[in-house]
Each structure stands twice: as structure tokens, then as C-alpha cells.
Amino acid sequence: MLKRPLRFLALLGALLAGLSQAGQVRVAVAANFAAPMQKIAATFARDTGHSAVLAVGSTGKFYAQIIHGAPFHVLLAADSETPARLEKEGLAVSGSRFTYAVGRLVLWSRNRTLVDGAGDVLRTAHFDRMAVADPKLAPYGAAARDTLQAMGLLSALQPRLVQGESIGQVYQFVASGNAALGFVALSQVMLDGKLTDGSAWIVPAPLYAPLRQDAVVLNAGQGNAAAMALVSYLQSDPVRAVMRGYGYDFPR
């Protein structure tokens, strides 16, 4: 019974501290989380006085930058493995890692009639090119690969695949018409619980490993009041309500 009041008091303390001494936090943000994080950063500044400077990209690319000294304070990854690895390698603050969201994969097209509600378009192959993220760099790309493998379609569709560095680039391929459809994050095509454009198939969870997205405070963020305030802010109920509007879930 005490967990929620204690969490609230911890958050309130962090926010009050932030108001008295505003700072800046540099955040590496997984591409799938770009839209909600931009909205969250704005309310974070309003509510705490701290500012969050965002860099958006693939989790794999951020890992390479961090191990070479990139001065990020916080990583919001698209997986759980990368933050755990950074913590194990001594590049992140021990004990600071937590799951901030659970993502969902969706097959999406700007064509309102191309993608059906069961994903049968993948079997009929009535399209020229399909975009996917690099599975070595982007967890959503790995989820797309696993989905096609589970459906027994990876080999057949391989010649049609167009690979993007990040899920953000995949979205651009589809949005621009350079690919007829693609596997993207539900958060990229959903707002306030509704599809923003086109047609989509939300991929059933059993077809790919859970997309648990972990945050971690990096060594550069240790002792940074804005970084501490942000990780508390991300776990607050109002912020989680924003994330739900983009299709994210949370650990039970």
C-alpha cells in the first residue's frame, strides 16, 4: 500500500529539487520513441524547469557512440540488452536501469487498402518493396525478421526487402512512397489510441520477442539533477498516459 505514495514523494522531491536548480540532460532516444519523447520533453521542461536535449537514432548506433565517449546523460533504448550491457561494461550507473515502456510492432502502409487486419498481404505479396530496419542495429528490425521467420516468409520476401538503419528511416521509406509498406513501431503511426494514416496490421505478440525498452543513466549523467529528475518523470502516471496514447504498454 505504501509503494505508490513513496513513489509519488520521490518524484515530487526530484521535481522540487529541479525547480530550485534547473539543469540540462542530454538524452539518446531510440527512433521509435521520438514522437512521444518530444512531447514528454516539453512537459518535463514546464513541470521541472530542466531541459532535455534529444538525439534520435538507432540503439545500436548509440551504443557505438557511447563506448567511444559520446557525452549522453541518459539512454532510452529500444531494447533491454543494450542498457544491461552498458551497465555490465561499467559505462552506466549501476542500479539505474528500468523498463520505461514495452513497444509493439506493426506492418504499415500509407495505402489505406493495402494492409489487411490479418497481415495476409505478406502472403499475397501484392507489393514491390517492403522496408525493415537493420536487425543488427534496431530491435524493431530484429522483431520484423523474427515475424517473417515465424510466418515462414523470410526467404520468399527477402528480394523485396529494403533495409533502413533505424525504425525512423523505415518510416520515412514508407511515408515517402519508396516502399509500399514496412514494419514500424506502433508509436510512429498511432496518436491518442488511433491510427493516424493508411492501413496497418498490429503484429501478434507471440510472433516476436517482447520489445522491452529500458532506460539507463550513463556515467556522464551521474550526479546530474536533470538526469535524475527525468528518469523519475518517465515513471509518473501522467507520462505513462502519454505513452499509452502512442500504443506502448508497461511491465506487469
Task: Quote the pLDDT of residue 252.
Answer: 76
Query: In terms of pLDDT, which residue wins out, 251 or 11?
Result: 251
Q: Right CATH number for 3-102+212-245 from 3.40.190.10, 2.60.120.10, 3.40.50.720, 3.90.230.10?
A: 3.40.190.10
| Contact indicator for 28, 78 with CB cutoff of 8 Å | no
In the predicted model, what is the mean pLDDT of the chain?
A: 92
Q: What is the DSSP string of 112-174?
A: TTTS-TT-THHHHT--S-EEEE-TTT-HHHHHHHHHHHHTT-HHHHGGGEEEESSHHHHHHHH
**Residues whose CB is less than 8 angstroms from the CB of residue 18 and which lie 6 or more positions away in sequence, other chains included:** 48, 49, 50, 225, 226, 229
Q: What does CATH list as the number for 105-202?
A: 3.40.190.10
Task: Quote the pLDDT of residue 22.
Answer: 82
198-233 residue pLDDT tens? 999 999 999 999 999 999 999 999 999 999 999 999
Smallest CA-to-CA distance from 187 within 243, 131, 238, 116 is with: 243
55 bridge partner residues: 28
Locate 109 and state its grid cell. Answer: 502502409
Smallest CA-to-CA distance from 203 within 236, 247, 237, 160 is with: 247
Q: Give the H/E segment covering residue 186.
A: helix 186-189
Q: Where are the domains of the chain?
A: 3-102+212-245, 105-202
Q: pTM of the full predicted structure?
A: 0.83
Smallest CA-to-CA distance from 186 within 151, 160, 164, 213 is with: 213
